[in-house]
Chain A
Amino acid sequence: MELKFTEEQLMMRDMVRDFAKKEIEPNIEKMEKGEFPREVLNKMADLGLMGITIPEKYGGSEMDFVSYIIAIHELSKVSAVVGVILSVHTSVGTNPILYFGNEEQKQKYVTKLAAGEYLGAFCLTEPSAGSDVGSMKSKAVKDGDHYRINGSKVFITNGGEADVYIVFASTDPSQGSRGISAFIVEKDTPGLIIGKDEHKMGLHGSRTVQLTFEDMKVPAENLIGEEGDGFKIALANLDVGRIGIAAQALGIAEAAYEAAVGYAKERVQFGKPIAAQQGVGFKIADMATAVEASKLLVYRAADLRSRGIACGKEASMAKLFASKTAVENSIEAVQVFGGYGYTEDYPVERYFRDAKVTEIYEGTSEIQRLVIGKHLIK
C-alpha cells in the first residue's frame, strides 16, 4: 500500500489546479449564461489534457488513469461543466475507438480527439431506452458501402459542439442488445440533425441536446468492431465513465466543503465566527469526512483501473458514494451560507444545482446499487 500520489501525479494536480484557477474561473459567469467553453478546451488541448490516457502514438499524453482522474477532480472543483466535457470526451467519446476501432479509425479519429482538434460525444440514450439499452429503437441498415441510420437520441453531452459522435443503433432488432452496433459519425454527416438544447437545472455551459438521424448515411468503414459489438463496446467503458463522474462529484463535494469552511471561519455572528458553533462546526466535520471517504473510494477505483484489475463494483461504489456526498455537501454548503448561499453572488447555489446530475448520469444511483448488489450475491 502506498497512498501518496507519485511525482508525476502531483505535477498533474498542480498544473490542472493552476489552470482551472487562471483559465476557467474567470469564465464561469459566461458559462452560467450558457456559453460553451470552447476557448478553455483549446487551452486544455495545448496542455495535453484532451488525451491524458491516450498512447503517444495516437497523439495522447500517455499518462496513467489516476492522472486523468486527478484532472477531472481538479477541474470539477472549479467547474463541473469542464469536468464533464472532459470525462465524456475521453471515456466515451475517444476510448471506444481506441479500444475497439481498427488502425485506420485510430489514425483518423483518435489522433485528432487526443490532440483536442476534435471533440467527442457518445450517443446511446434514447427517449425510451436509458439504462435498459436493449430496448433501443434507432436502426442501422446496410446499404452497399454505407449504413443508413434512423432514430433519435436524447441527453447527448457535447452535442452540437462535437466533431465526432459515437452512435449506437440496432443492426439486428431480433437480437435485442446483441443486435446493437457502434458507428463513428462525423458532425457534417447528412441526416444528422441537432435538435433542441435541454434547459437544465445545472451544468450551464455544457450542451445537452437531442439528436435525430434521418436516413443518416454513414460509411461502412465507420462501423466500430463487428456488427453486434455495440453492447459490448458500450459496457466496456462503463467503469471508466463511472469513475470519471465519481471524480466530478468528488470535485463538487470538495468545492462545496471548502466554500463552507472558508465562509464559516469569516462570518461572525454573536461575537464569534459561526464555525465556532457546534451546529456549524459539526456539519463541516461531516462534510470533510464524507469528502475524504469519497476521495479514497474514487482513487482506489482509479488505481485498480490503471493496473488493469477488474473494478466494476468499486467504480459503482465510488460513484454512488461520491455523488451522494456531492448532493449532501452542496445542500449543507448553501445552508452554512444562509441567505447569501441562495444568491448567485456565491458559488454554492451552482454546486447545489450541478451536483444533482451526478446521481443520475452514467447510471443512476439505483443502477449503481443494482450493480453492487449483483456483485455481493455472486
Chain B
Amino acid sequence: MNFKLSEEHEMIRKMVRDFATKEVAPTAAERDEEERFDREIFDKMAELGLTGIPWPEEYGGIGSDYLAYCIAVEELSRVCASTGVTLSAHTSLAGWPIFKYGNEEQKQKYLRPMAEGTKIGGYGLTEAGSGSDAGGMKTTAKLDGDHYVLNGSKIFITNGGIADIYVVFAVTDPTSKHKGTSAFIVEAGFEGFSVGKKEKKLGIRSSPTTEIIFDNCRIPKENLLGEEGEGFIIAMKTLDGGRNGIAAQAVGIAQGALDASVEYSKERVQFGKPIVANQGVSFKLADMATSIEASRLLTYQAAWLESNGHSYGKESAMAKLMAGDTAMKVTVEAVQVFGGYGYTKDYPVERYMRDAKITQIYEGTQEIQRLVISRMLTK
C-alpha cells in the first residue's frame, strides 16, 4: 500500500496547474459570461499532450494512464469547469470507446487525431425521451448497401458543434431492447448530419451543449464500432469511465471554491480580526476540506483501479456520487463565506456554484449512481 502519487503524476499535475493558471483562468469568467468556447485553449492543451493522456503513443497519445487524466481534469476544473468537461467528454466519452472497441483502422483514423488534439470528440447517447433509460432510444440505423442510414436526434451533447468526431448510438434492431443498439463513429462532415439548438445553461457555459440531428445521415459500414448489438454495453462501460472524469471535475470545482474561500477568509477583517479566526468560518473550511479529500481519494482510487486493469464500476459510481455532492455543498458554502461579494460576478465562487450543479446530473444523476451502487451491493 502506498498512497503517494508517482513522480510522473506529480509532474502532470504541476504542468496542468501552471497551464490552467496562465492560460485558462484569466478568461474563465469572460468565457462563462459570453458562453464562448475557445479553440485556442484546446489547441494549447493539444500541444502539451493533454488531449491524449491515457492513449498509447502509437495512437498519438502520451502513454500515461487514467489517473493522470483525472488529475488533469481536476486541475483544469479548479479554474474552469467548462474546460475540464471539454477534455473529459473528448477523452472518456469519445476516445475511450474507440480505444476499447475500435479496430486498428478506426483507432488510426479517429483516435489518433483526437489524441493529438487536431480533432475534438463528442458522444451522442441521450435523446429527448431517453436519458438514463437508454433502452428507450428512438434514433435508428438501417443498413443500406455499404452504409448505415441514421435518423433521429440526440440532445445535451457536450462538445456539440465543436466536435469533429462523435460516437453515436442508434437502434439497429427494434425487436430487441438492449441488444438492438449499436455504436457508430460519425464525422461532423457526413451528409445528413447537422447541429441543432445550442442550450442556454445555468453553468459550464463555455462548454457548448447542443442537439445533433441525423437526417438520412449516411455512415460507411466500417464506422460501426464493435459489433452490431454491442451498443448498449459500449455505452454503459463508457459511462463507468466517464464518471471518473466527472468525479475529477467535481473535485476540481470544489478545490477551487475552497482555495478561494481560504484566501478570502484570511483577508476579510470584521470585528477587528480576519473572519477565519471565527470557528463559524474555520470549521466550515475544515468540513469543506475533509469532504474534498474524501472525494479526491475515491476518485483517484477509481482511476487507479481502471489504470491497473481492475474492475472499477462501483468505485467510479461512488466517486462521482460523493464528489458531485461535495462540489455542490462546498460551492454553496464558498458563496456563504464571501457573503454579498460571493453573490457577485467579481469573484469566481458564484460561477463555481453554478458549475457544480451539473456534476450531480450528467454521466448519470446521483440517483442513478445510487441505483448502480445499490444494485451491485444487493446482488
Contacts and interface: CB of A to CB of B under 8 A. Distances in A.
A1 B5 contact: yes
A369 B286 CA distance: 5
A321 B81 CA distance: 26
Contacts of B286: 320, 368-373, 376
Interface in A1-17: 1-6, 9
Contacts of A6: 1
Contact of A285 (B1, B279, B297, B374): B374
Nearest to B259: A376
B276 A377 contact: yes
Interface string B137-165: 00000000000000000000000000000
B1 A377 contact: no
Contact of A261 (B3, B297, B298, B378): B378
Most buried by B among A282, A289, A370, A372: A289
Contact of A320 (B290, B371, B373, B378): B290
B227 to A, nearest CB: 32
Interface string B193-208: 0000000000000000
Interface string A274-304: 0110100110111011101110110110011
Interface in A216-269: 261, 264-265
B240 to A, nearest CB: 16
B367 A289 contact: no
Contacts of A286: 321, 370
B322 A281 contact: no
Given A285-B321, A304-B3, A317-B289, A296 B282 contact: no
A370 B289 contact: no
B2 interface: yes
Contacts of A290: 322
B297 A297 contact: yes
Nearest to B372: A285
A4 B377 CA distance: 21
Interface string B344-379: 000000000000000000000001011101110110
B285 A373 contact: yes
Given A281-B375, A369-B282, A373-B283, A66 B1 contact: yes
A366 interface: yes
Contacts, number: 139
Interface residues of A, number: 47
A190 interface: no
Interface string A298-329: 01100110010000001001001100000000
A273 interface: yes
Contact of B289 (A9, A275, A288, A372): A372
Contacts of A374: 282
Contacts of B315: 292
Interface string A349-369: 000000000000000001011
Contacts of B304: 1, 3
Nearest to A302: B1
Nearest to B290: A317
A321 B290 CA distance: 7
Contacts of B294: 293-294, 296-297, 317, 321
Contacts of A303: 1-4
Given A3-B3, A281-B378, A303-B2, A376 B262 contact: yes
A275 B294 CA distance: 26
Q: Which 10 A-B pairs have the closest CB atoms?
A: A373-B282, A281-B374, A296-B297, A372-B286, A285-B373, A293-B294, A369-B286, A285-B370, A282-B370, A275-B378
Interface of B: 1-6, 9, 67, 262, 265-266, 276, 279, 282-283, 285-287, 289-291, 293-295, 297-298, 300-301, 304-305, 315, 318, 321-322, 367, 369-371, 373-375, 377-378
